[in-house]
Structure 1
């Protein structure tokens, strides 16, 4: 039978592979290709058993239908066209290419010279042409059956103002948990284990934000040093889950994880990387997009299209201005929502996604596409609001419906608790969800994602234990990682047996997380911060697939177990008090009918309202945030108004005791202490203070009080 007879015309939509029970349709976009060959492999992936030309090209979609193929079929593409890097074309049919829409891969990929389209080491560099066949050592795409029994799955749909995000890593979170069977550790199945889910529920978080799970590549410069791309921000395909996280190689494992987390009331958010790919710059490998249609998939320099625009710092920038590339990203997002049932996304370097030819545009094509999409407009969307291109810092500059990682909150909170001057007005603004940045276009306070630590930088424990980064294990002579961490080691660099320093570090950790959980906006915790996880001072542990990144589950010191309990109390406190998670920005305009207080009042240590003099005092370290509990701004999940206690949170970053005059409020009979970071074991209500009385605020402490009203009021 001829190749032409073997392949039917098929259809140009949908892109990727579609199994209909009788055969498989193949569809691949390439605007500049001259011919596309489909390569089929045996079950070992080592032997090519058939090569078929896709017979049709409709609207730049190459397509064909092969009857008799089944799920499990292994395949790849060879794409023919000009190799002219100066004008943007890098076709090389000697290289087996991966389908950008593949939903699963077979095998493993170790980058070698033969995966490059040019001859590595040639005097003409990337202008040379490599004729070696790389198929033997290349991943193979797998035709999959995407069916799954989702009966009974109910996404939690947690309102933003009740959301508490827990950023974690699939492998590092479970790899050392003795309650998880050994063969499931470090996988999606491990994340779905009852022991893990029970822990997350007890902690009180409502969503896990998983670091990249799309198929990614270990950079060659890392593997040459015996390291790996542990974080995974080096995406190779936007549809396929990373195979190293599949314990048995079955896609249903990811779906089962999502379903079990949903059953526990926990949402699943994915950290996704659509700003660049694993193919790097002009000296990178040819694995997929570059060999399929380099000039369409990537943004190239206008004066010399041999080179890539690098707004990401990773060698290339995906060209979302192109309608087919934008379609691929949107198809990917919809796949993860509709087929995988995830609840939202955190977009890495999201400024890149909003770049048009003229620069960043918050109303650009990508954001418009999400806002109008029936599925994507309903899920949680979180932006990392920067990249390294021109005008790359855009905190507060994203459209309505988007939340943003607020690094200003992170840095200000760190500096306040480190004792820097002039931090009071900055912290006060951040405690109100940075309304100066986010209160526009009818956005809500939850647009600000508040955090003290994330995967990128020091852990919470390291923030109070190290002055300097210690990234020697990365093999870059400690030059990598951000040099400004706003950290302080309390006098000794790294671990210490000094009991006074250990206790101070614990208190500062409590202070920082209390600041996150008491602020308006959306709180986010880094996995392990609740139990003292350290990276030994490494603030850029992207390549450390070892104890530096893995969570410790057993033999945790007693002080860190107590800290876990404190974090649970904090999260519970936020959950129980809607005044801490208001649905609207606070500007002191709403008045309590019961107390006469405004919705937000700033209190000086003297018990009165903060004056301009107080705010301008650069050495001031102590102030109070008073939130009136019955100003009509809080609602139940069903939409009914609800009242709350009036809360007073006092922040003292100074190193001395501060006599604080408790506000004298009408119709009130006193204040009961809910939380004191200097006395973490203090039970709520155990300490009572009268209105107008002085209370001694301990150094470097956060204390929270609830107002007790007269019964007649």
Structure 2
């Protein structure tokens, strides 16, 4: 397989794509009036190619492919469908959901984005990732985080450019953020059921083009992302991208034909009877047994490193990367994609973070990714919540605070510890809602997790009762103390440092609304100051003792709050009022206390 996509070389513009079962493929060029010109492409093995004389940078283009229309046989060719280049890096508009996308023979040129031929993309000067294991990752929904920020100029609110604004960077620096982790910023398609409900996808976990930046979030394209990364790097803050390579927005058999489905449907995993495998819950699953799928993935990662300078990636539903084909339906820790990433000169030193679960066979793989990968640790979240909920003892808490060696072994700690993430209750809602309240999502409150290990301190939802609010404040501080004192890399979701609420919605993926936007005007400044203090303490320890939180601690002394030793039965004693840890490690000279009666945890 040769070079794919659109590029300039030797005074000409080259176009190439993979469509092994097509009978004919056309390059479709669109002029300033949106008139379409179709040019036949030439087959070269599984690829189709065409070269145009001259520099066509900035030209808008798409493809059409003809062949069999036999969805039950995995062939979805329809020359009426305008198709987006899987290797596109910029688009002229956002994706739009419409019935025509799934109707055979109905032309879609009026609604499908055109790719833009890139000009010469400058390479970012290589540099080691600006990220330190054990530091603080700050998870950011770009639009929701900046849309209501009063100091960000209105024209750039809700965009990647807003992340480079001095007021945003000042906030990140106050929190000693090691790296921001951006929810998907590549172009996505709303799920079919959302437009009739008047809703839209607010998170972006439904991509169509894997490296084309969403024109709404990043209207300045590659240059805008590159400049934002440079500004954050200038402040000592790394940038991680949350990317989705497990499925595409073309959905199930009732979904549209927009890109891969109309060119190379073999990229999707199929069962023996030809039906689509749905290990993602999104209607389809990309097949990483296919070399073409792995090549597209590696090309996307290389693009964001080489041309934008990002420091690493978080992989959504990452077990999909290691499933399929010759290594069967389960998870293979030696799957080819891991070696291909590790061998790539642009990617070998980047930060790689797995979300280690999906709904496929062997779908929960926490602790089983390659040794140099980090992994989201939902066991930390659940055990710490359960402890302060009163449903777990000190034994589970101590194991999580010490880096979860029961999961990751005795190697360098690979845990990403978190209390809340984009998916689920916010930190403030964890102590204010015992039940989910997702009615605004239009699914009769059936969506989202029902087991959240959350509580309400006596009143469900908003409260003016001083005692309730004081109890919630204590619980939030206790949870945060555990997070910032824990061994491992830690993650905080934007706004949780000052009491962000989603009104009990624990599945706000479709809330591009005040429910999902960060309320800067309503910040709890006292809590924000407390978090800044915790982060300053942790950053100070890391500066004085590099690697302090990235390595499992050597044996220390666990005691009761009174100083009495802990007996074997004390670890599970729900009536034990508290415990403290005294470090015996000169390279990690820190301890902490957990006072269950005072609802307090943190450095001690």
TM-score by length of 2: 0.96
1:439 matches 2:409: yes
Render the CA deviation track for 1:412-464: whole Å, top value 9, x for unaligned.
Answer: 000111111x4211111111110111125xx311x100000000000011011
Q: Distance in 2 between matches of 1:339 and 1:150?
A: 6
Q: Please, which of 558, 581, 584 is the counterpart of residue 548 of structure 2? A: 581
Aligned pairs for 1:140-539 (under 5 A) are: 140-148=114-122, 150=124, 157-161=130-134, 163-247=135-219, 249-294=220-265, 296-302=266-272, 304-305=273-274, 307-357=275-325, 358=328, 359-420=330-391, 422-439=392-409, 443-445=411-413, 447-539=414-506
- Separation in 1 of the partners of 2:61 and 2:374? 39
Which among 80, 97, 121 is matched to residue 83 of structure 2? 97
Give, in whole Å, the separation in 2 of the partners of 1:291 and 1:206: 41
Q: Does 1:106 align with 2:92?
A: yes
Q: 2:591 aligns with which of 648, 652, 671?
A: 648
Structure 2 Cα separation of the partners of residues 293 and 228 of structure 1: 28
Distance 2:264 2:550 in 1: 46
d(CA) in 2 for partners of 1:165, 1:510: 19
Q: How far 1:220 sits from its partner (Å)?
A: 2.5
Asked if the contact 1:469–1:478 (Cα under 8 Å) also holds between the matched residues in 2, the reply is yes
Q: What is the RMSD computed on CA atoms of the aligned residues?
A: 1.7
Partner of 1:680: none
Question: Residue in 2 aligned with 1:611?
Answer: 567
Deviations for 1:287-323, whole angstroms, at most 9, x for unmatched residues?
00000011x2100111x21x21000000000011111
For 2:603 and 2:121, locate their aligned partners in 1 and report how far apart those are by CA, in whole Å. 51
Gaps of 5+ in 2: none
Pair 1:347–1:602, CA change in 2 (3 A): same
> 1:380: how far off?
0.5
In 2, Cα distance between the equivalents of 1:555 and 1:563?
12
1:34 aligns with 2:23: yes
Q: Distance in 2 between matches of 1:73 and 1:21?
A: 18
1-structure distance, mates of 2:188, 2:583 = 46
CA contact (8 A) 2:123 2:307 kept: no
Alpha-carbon deviation of 1:360? 0.6
1:583 CA displacement: 4.1
Structure 2 Cα separation of the partners of residues 585 and 105 of structure 1:
46
Partner SS state of residue 244, structure 1? coil
TM-score when scaled to structure 1? 0.81
Measure the CA separation in 2 of the matches of 1:94 and 1:184: 37
In structure 2, do the counterparts of structure 1 residues 703 and 241 end up closer, same or farther at CA, with 3 Å as the change threshold?
closer
Check if 1:47 corresponds to 2:47. no
- In structure 1, the gaps of 5 or more residues are 1-11, 120-129, 589-599, 635-643, 655-698, 706-713
Partner of 2:594: helix, strand, or coil? Answer: strand
Larger Rg over CA atoms:
1
Q: Against the structure 1 CA distance between its residues 563 and 84, is the aligned structure 2 distance closer, same or farther, given a 3 Å change threshold?
A: same
CA deviations 1:177-224 (Å, max 9, x no partner) are 121111010011111111111111112111000000111112231111
| Rounded Cα–Cα distance in structure 2 between residues aligned with 1:96 and 1:348 | 28
